Amino acid sequence: PEGMLARIKMEAHKRNIPYQSLLKLWLSEKLDEV
């Protein structure tokens, strides 16, 4: 969804990293929890 991507891009911008990197970071954290 568009809104979700916009939120992800905003979060990435706050951290000053590309949003793809943020997605990978979140994915690896989620996988570690499993």
CA distances from 4 to 1, 13, 14, 20, 30 (A): 5, 14, 15, 13, 17
pLDDT for res 1: 74
Q: Could you report the per-residue pLDDT of 1-34, keeping only the tens digit for each?
A: 789 999 999 999 999 999 999 999 999 999 999 8
pTM of model > 0.85: no
Q: Are the C-beta atoms of 12 and 22 separated by less than 8 Å?
A: yes
Give the separation between CA 34 and CA 3, rounded to whole angstroms: 27
pLDDT at 4: 92
Spatial distance between the Cα atoms of 16 and 32, rounded to a whole number of angstroms: 24
User: In this structure, is the dihedral angle defined by the CA atoms of residues 19, 9, 17 and 26, taken in order, positive or negative?
Assistant: negative
What pLDDT does residue 34 have? Answer: 84
